[in-house]
Amino acid sequence: MDAKPVMLIVDDVEINRVVLSQFFQDEYAIVEAADGQEAMDALAAQTVSIVLLDLVMPVMDGFAVLAAMKRNDQYAQIPVIVMTAHNDGSSEERALELGAADFIVKPYNPTVVRCRVKNVMARQENEWRKVAQVAQDRQLAEMHRHIEKDALTGIDNREAFYRRTAALLQKNQDAAYSILYFDISCFKVINDIFHLDTGNLVLKTAAIYFQVLAGEAGTCGRIESDHFALCLPSAKVDMDNIMAGLDSTVKSLGLSHSIVFYAGVYPVDNAFLPVDQMCDRANMALTSIKGSYLQRHAYYDKSMRDRMFEEQMIVRDMEFALMARQFCVYLQPVHSLKENRIVSAEALVRWQHPTQGMIPPDRFISIFERNGFISRLDRFVWTEVCRIIKEQKARDGKALPISVNVSRLHFYDAGLLDFQLRLVKTYDLEPWMFRLEVDESAYTDNPYQMAQCVRALREHGFCVLLDDFGSGYSSLNMLKDLPVDGIKIDRSFVREVGQSERAGTIMEAIVTMAKKLAMGIVVEGVETKEQVDYLAGIGCENMQGYYYSRPVPEAEFAALLRNEADA
Ligand code: C2E
Ligand code: CA
Ligand code: CA
């Protein structure tokens, strides 16, 4: 294939065409035309790089061709060199005005002709390059804008926000700044119940508000999905005002579902900290109040960072701890007033950490619930409990039932019942000895599945207790739909009973109701003789709390039982 550029030579005199062809045939693919019309046809037939055009021709002269070419977008850019038979100044001028790139006077001087063509082509190439450059620049600028700007909201994206904020802080090292981090509560739900467009509209509206708020003195950016960050001079940070403005801006959209923003604030005390870490700190403050009804913003303090470090330590060490048997089961007796003895116990996990010492479950259970590790830890605890019951049975000829805590996560696991069945079979226990404490969080999450699961467990002979009864919102509702064997009244209730008459009245009603429904009651957190007397007075029989015993290691629990037997 001929890859040479095409030169169109238009001249009615054949000999002229032959001469010119010879000058250029090495560099160009030559196409000849004998008049203007042929020239136009040739232009249409192929991509032509340059035209040598005789001005004086029959049919359609050179001026007409030139004019036609310049009118046509496709040909207008093709350089045309016109050829005149004699030094006709006015023709040349006219041709140049019509857009010819240059002119050549006959007879042809090969060197001059070549030179002119080269010049014209070089100029043309330059033009093309310029056009290409402009296009490229435009594309680069556009790309840059894309890289800097969040595509949905048009404000800075995460990287641009980090960069601009770092520059702002460096430039104004003496001024006080704060990082504000915003998050919409349950944004996923908003996307689910409304159309995606509505969610996007909320984000765009919030972005506009933040942009105005940041103004010239600050920066703002969208960090990810529904997370926004701002850097503002601390003097401008009036959080109540900012939140109220944000609320009313979003309210103006007139959505039926209320959109709740939470914010965390990190007053920058170290301008050299990477901005992403500043955002993490503001976000940490935010996380500490997320879901709260009363508090919509919070300030970062050092304790939050300590908590985060602790959480990291816990997650880092958990796997090894389980393998190394650092988790152990403590038992807290449940005392029967009527029988005046221990009738059962609750298994409570402890972490004997090699460097941190004993870590109580409050510090790791919620973390494990978030990362799923609780499923494995609970199964470990249940297995331990089965072993303990079996050993007790072997030693004393009989055993007391022990209850275990069942995290809400297990109700998402179809294998729960199978696991329990296998466990009691392996340890040769009757299912009623192994009691399961469930709390209402599982029920609120997933009422149907939880109810089914509880029903199946009870059908197989397991005893199910409703834990922390009275501490939440739906306990009564749950009882209605979910038949259980007993309830454990939350310790916060017991604490209040002595102080508030109202709490006392509710407690009495709960006890009466439980008896009517033939459910057992265990009262948790009994700490004083007064509480015992009061509870006995309203008909409670089973108590668990420090008044009787703290949770104790297995051996100590066995000793408690032995003492009772000896007494
Ligand atoms: P919970 O199930 O409500 O357990 C009762 C908690 O009350 C225990 O705290 C116990 O030590 C404490 N307690 C008992 N008597 C008294 C008292 O008289 N006064 C006071 N102030 N407290 C008393 P612990 O052992 O720190 O456990 C805290 C929570 O951790 C438990 O609350 C339970 O929700 C969870 N947990 C403990 N072990 C496990 C486990 O193996 N698996 C799961 N999923 N959760 C567990
Ligand atoms: Ca419990
Ligand atoms: Ca409890």
- 353-366, pLDDT tens digit by residue? 999 999 999 999 99
Instruction: Quote the CA–CA distance of 168 and 171 in Å, as a whole number.
Output: 5
Using pLDDT thresholds of 50, 70 and 90, give the confidence band for residue 1. low
Q: Best mutation site among 524, 535, 544, 549 for ligand 1, i.e. most ligand atoms within 8 A of its Cβ? A: 524
- Residue matched to tokens 């006392």: 504
Question: What is the structure's pLDDT at 142?
Answer: 75
Residue 370's pLDDT band, with cuts at 50, 70 and 90, is confident
The per-residue pLDDT of the chain, averaged, comes to 90
Query: Residue range 435-442: average pLDDT?
Result: 90
Hey, whose CA ends up nearest to atom 17 of ligand 1?
525
pLDDT at 474: 62
405 CA distance to ligand 2 centroid (A)?
Answer: 5
pLDDT at 86: 66
Kindly state the helix (H) or strand (E) to which residue 390 belongs, with its residue range: helix 374-396
Q: Whose CA is nearest to atom 12 of ligand 1?
A: 525
Q: Measured on CA atoms in the order 314, 319, 324, 325, is the torsion positive or negative?
A: positive
Residues with C-beta atoms within 5 A of ion ligand 2: 405, 437, 467
List, in order, residues 6 or more apart from 497 with CB less than 8 Å away.
Answer: 503, 504, 507, 531, 534, 535
Quick one: residue 186, left, alpha or beta (phi over 0 = left, psi -120 to 50 = alpha)?
Answer: left
CA 352 vs CA 237, 282, 321, 556: distances in Å: 45, 33, 9, 17
Q: How far apart are CA 487 and CA 475, in angstroms?
A: 10
* pTM of model > 0.75: no
Residue nearest to atom 21 of ligand 1 (CA): 525
The confidence score (pLDDT) of residue 185 equals 86
Is-cis flag, bond preceding 107, omega within 30?
A: yes
Which of 57-61, 109-113, 500-504 is predicted with the least confidence, judged by mean pLDDT? 109-113
With vertex at residue 198, the alpha carbon angle to CA 194 and CA 199, rounded to the nearest 5 degrees, is: 90
User: What percent of the chain clears pLDDT 90, i.e. is strictly above it?
Assistant: 60
Cα 44–chain centre separation: 57
Phi–psi pair at 498, nearest 5 degrees: -70, -25
Rounded to the nearest whole angstrom, what is the distance from the C-alpha of residue 524 to the centroid of ligand 2? 9
Gap between the Cα atoms of 231 and 243, Å rounded: 15
Beta strand 327-336 with 542-544 is: antiparallel
pLDDT at 561: 94
How confident is the model at residue 192, as a pLDDT? 77
Average of pLDDT values for 134-146?
77
- The whole-number pLDDT of residue 504 equals 86
Q: Which pairs with CB-CB distance under 8 Å and at least 24 residues apart come from 412-418? A: 412/446, 412/449, 413/375, 416/453, 416/457, 417/453, 417/456, 417/457, 417/460
Which of 371, 379, 383, 405 has most ligand 1 atoms within 8 Å of CB, for mutation?
405
Closest ligand 1 atom, CA of 547? 18
Kindly give the distance from the C-alpha atom of residue 403 to the centroid of ligand 2, in angstroms, as a whole number. Answer: 8
pLDDT at residue 499 in the model: 80
**Minimal-distance CA residue to ligand 1 atom 4:** 348
Q: d(Cα 477, Cα 473) in Å, to the nearest integer?
A: 9
- State in Å: Cα 489 to ligand 3 middle: 7
- H/E run at residue 383: helix 374-396
- Catalogue all structural domains in the chain, each as residue range(s) with its CATH number: 6-132 (3.40.50.2300), 147-305 (3.30.70.270), 325-566 (3.20.20.450)
Residue 238 reports pLDDT greater than 80: yes
Angle, CA of 9, 13 and 19, to the nearest 5°: 60
Distances 549 to 234, 333, 392 between C-alpha atoms, Å: 52, 7, 19
Ligand 1 pocket test: which of 335, 362, 365 has the largest number of ligand atoms within 8 Å of its C-beta? 365
Q: Which of 72-76, 298-302, 337-341, 454-458 has the lowest mean pLDDT?
A: 72-76
Q: Is the dihedral of CA 370, 375, 381, 385 positive or negative?
A: positive
In this structure, the residues whose C-beta lies within 6 A of any atom of ligand 1 are: 332, 348-349, 360-362, 365, 374, 378, 381, 405, 407, 467-468, 491, 524-527, 544-546, 551
* Beta-bridge partner residues of 486: 465, 520
